[in-house]
Structures are given as C-alpha cells and as structure tokens.
Amino acid sequence: MAFWWPLLVLLFAYAICRFLLMLIPPNVPSIDVDVSDVCNDEVNFGFKVRISSRDTGKTMIDASLGEIMTTCEKIHWLLSEGEKWLKPEYRSSGKSMLHKRSKVEYHPLGVIGAIVSWNYPFHNIFNPMLAAVFSGNGIVIKVSEHASWSGCFYFRIIQTALAAVGAPENLVDVITGFAETGEALVSSVDKIIFVGSPGVGKKIMRKASETLIPVTLELGGKDAFIVCEDVDVEHVAQVAVRAGLQSSGQNCAGAERFYVHRDVYNAFVAQVVKIVKSVTAGPPLAGKCDMGAICMQDHVEKLQSLVIDALDKGAEIAGRGRFGNLGTDAVDQFFPPTVLVNVNHSMLIMQEEAFGPIMPIMKVSSDEEAIRLANDSRFGLGCAVFSRSQSRARRIASQLHCGIAAINDFASNYMCQSLPFGGVKDSGFGRFAGIEGLRACCLVKSVVEDRWWPYVKTKIPKPIQYPVADHAFEFQQTLVETLYGLNIWDRLRALVNVIKVLTEHNSPSAGSSRRSD
C-alpha cells in the first residue's frame, strides 16, 4: 500500500501540470480587423444572413425566417467588443486533450496507376513501382509507346524478382499501348502518377476528376542555372555543360536557362564554348562520341525552330559541337550541342521547354535580377545556384519558385532518394521518393481514442446534452474562454465560471425552479 501512494501523488501532479500547461496560451501575435464597412456586403455569423438598408437603418435578417435579427449597430458592437474572438489564438486547434491519445495511420490506397515517359525507361518504371509496393499497394505501369521493348524487358526482370521472394505475380504489371490504354488505366485505379508533358497532364487530370482519384504530375521543367561572380569559372563551366547536355538535353531536370553575373560572363561563356566545341554527337556503337541521339525525329525540328527564333530576335551562336560517324540515314536523329548568347526572355528558348542540348546564357547584374528572371517562367521544377558563399547560394535558391534546389551542384537531389522530387506551376504537383512520395500512395487517416479507456470516457457536459439547457450558451462561452483565452488569468477566471455554472444549475434548488417553470 505504501508503494501506491507516491505513485498516485506523482500521477496526480502530472495531471495537474498537464492541465495547467493546457491553460497557457500560445505566444501568437494578434491582428486588427477593419470592420467599418461590414454592413455593405453579405455577412456570415454561423447562419445565413443578409444586410439591407431600411428607413430605420441597416438591419440583419435571418434568411430562414425572414425576420429582423438585430440592427447593424449591434453587429458593430459584436465585432468591436468581441474583436478578441477574431484573434489567431482562438483559431488554434492543436492542443491535445489530457484524456485523449491521437495518431496518424497510413493505409494502402489499393492499385496505383502510373503513366511514364520514354526518356529514362528503367527509372521511370522502378521509381513509381517501389513507392507503390513499399507502401502496400499493387501497381499497373503504362510505359510510353516509344519505350515498349525496354518496358517489357524490365517487366520480365520484375516478375523474376517477385517470384524469388514469393510475392504475388500480379502485384506489379507493365502494359503497353497508346492514349486509349492510358485513358482506360486512369478510369480503373485508385491513384494515378503521370510523367510527361503539361498538355497530357491536364488531360489526365480531367479524366481523373470523373472518379476523383488523387493525381501526382511530373511535367518537365525549364530549370535555371545561376552563376555568381565569386565562383571558380573553370569548375562551374564543366558542371554547366553536363547540366545542359546530359542525355542530349532530354532531361526534365536539366539546366535550360543560364544566368551568369556580368563580372564573369565573358570568361564563363568562353570556357563553356571551349568545352562544347570538343563534344561529338553520334551513335555510340559506331565509334567514340560524347553525346547520343535525339530520341524523337520530329523533335529535332522543334529544337531548330527554337534556335532560329532566338537568332531572329538578336541572339548569336557562340559555339556548337560536331557530329561523328553518322550514316546518311541517321542525320535527323542528332542535334549538335549549341551555345546561345545575347538571349532575353522575349525568345522562345527562354520560355518553352527545349528538351535538347541547347545552352542559352544570359548576363545579369545582381542576385536580385537573377532571381527575378529565374522566376519569370511558367515552369518550376528545379534550380542550381553557384557561389563560393554557401549562405549566399542558399539565400538565392530559397527565393526561387521551384520544387528542388541544388547548391553548388546539379540535380544531386535525384541521387538522394530519401528526398521528395517534384515541382510547381506547369512542372506539376505532388512528389516522388522520400517520405512524402510513400505517403502520397497512402490513405492518411487521423485517429483519436480515449487514453484511459474504460476508466475515463468521453461525456457530453450536461448543459449541452439534448435538449440543450437554458444556460447552454453561457456554459459554452465560458468553456471557450477557458480553452482559448488570451492569457492564463483569463483562462483561470473562465475555468472558475465554468465550475460555477455547472454547480449552480446542478443544485437541487435550480432543478426545482426549472420544474416549477
């Protein structure tokens, strides 16, 4: 028995401390609200009302009964004297209840559908597959019609791996087809993941709206590459060329706009041109080359039109790479790496996603100008910022409207699969990889339960049990002040009033007086 007493005292002290901590209001700044013109428009006070002008002044009318509720002067009093009810402190709902325990559960959605592009056929299959399976879902992946062979090849590897661990053979499926196949897939799954163009992404969203399934879109980008004047030009130029020419520029997170400080602009351009001129584009099986083909033949024409538009508007070609070992039938599959200077934002090359080996380099005079120009885009996937001062590079990157940022590096985010990957604006929404990518494949469920069930149970206070008591509003008012008062003294005073209201109306005399009524 002697052992239980100290334990009970400690538990009681803990409960009192938790209760007192609950009474301490958060340190949130208050706001002032201008209500001088509140009577000129419709107002909502928890019921539908309208304000109308009468000879007797402006009045508030209950729309459900057509009766005048109160005059506008009374509304002014409510909003001025009751201004504290509008302060942010009263909107805080994050306080935990002493007798409750809360948690968040993540449940599989069911079957995930993924429609992926052709430019990285291996990763575009395995990335959504791993997220779906590791979060407990099955998945059906429609590969691009331009990557059907490789998609089926990888699917055989996946089937073998599933069989090796005893997983269901239909846990993952890979399908091929055209637009009709993708449309049917969107109509048949519990979530859709799409990697592709903004135009097709909008069609996916429209189709998904019919069944109201969640959507993740990764729609490409126009990533900015910002170079400050304090960098090692030779080092950054090598990174820049890799960022622009990797996969022949057919990279959603590739650098497509280069903003270089004027103090190092000429040196940077000279170094980039020197590197690009040494780059050979050609078929890798036919001999040594540095850069491969453009996968879509008609896309070469798009790239050429972007260059011509820039030249017509005043840009210049500072340097180009060369071809190597091309057969007569393969010329249209390749596009020489190209460096453009004297570019500006009136040119399509600075606005449209090129998805090719073109490096437009623009001179800037300050960090602020670089930030403004980088944000002047309908895309917002990633960015890269280079400066000897990491804090400066971080400050610049933090002001860019995009989903991923690399400081003194290029696209290293993609190598960190613990990080979420995705963009904003026309680059889409939602995230792959990381915790965010896994949870995006889940039903997020919040759960609250009694902490000491069945000894302490939820009970509706007597004044607000149906039918509500005459003093229900008074009780609710004091209870709200107890939980959300502006300071601890207001809350303690309101707590005393809550107890007072309960005891007064639960007394025998109060009960007999109500019965006599």
| Residues acting as catalytic residues | 218, 252
* DSSP state, residue 477: H
For 195, residues 6+ apart whose C-beta sits below 8 A from its C-beta are 114, 115, 116, 117, 124, 218, 219, 252
Asked if 172 and 129 touch (Cβ cutoff 8 Å), the reply is: yes
CA dihedral of residues 63, 64, 66, 68 (deg, nearest 10): -70
Amino acid identity at 384:
A
Closest CA relative to residue 340, chosen from 368, 311, 367: 311
Report how far residue 91's alpha carbon sits from residue 483's, in angstroms, rounded to the nearest whole number: 11
Which neighbouring-strand residues pair with 62? 49, 67
Closest CA relative to residue 187, chosen from 216, 214, 210: 210
Asked if 443 and 109 touch (Cβ cutoff 8 Å), the reply is: yes
- CB atoms under 10 Å from CB of 171, counted, come to 16
Hey, what are 192's tokens?
Answer: 């859709």
- CB atoms under 10 Å from CB of 10, counted, come to 10
Report how far residue 253's alpha carbon sits from residue 406's, in angstroms, rounded to the nearest whole number: 11
Report how far residue 190's alpha carbon sits from residue 388's, in angstroms, rounded to the nearest whole number: 47
Burial letters 172-181, b for 16+ CB under 10 A, else e: bebbbeeeee
Hey, what are 122's tokens?
Answer: 């291996």
Q: What are phi and psi of 327, to 5 degrees?
A: -80, 165
For 143, residues 6+ apart whose C-beta sits below 8 A from its C-beta are 116, 118, 121, 124, 125, 150, 151, 174, 175, 176
Report how far residue 14's alpha carbon sits from residue 29's, in angstroms, rounded to the nearest whole number: 29
Asked if 88 and 29 touch (Cβ cutoff 8 Å), the reply is: yes
Instruction: Output the DSSP codes for 331-398.
Output: GGG----EEEES--TTSGGGTS---SSEEEEEEESSHHHHHHHHHSSSEESEEEEE-S-HHHHHHHHH
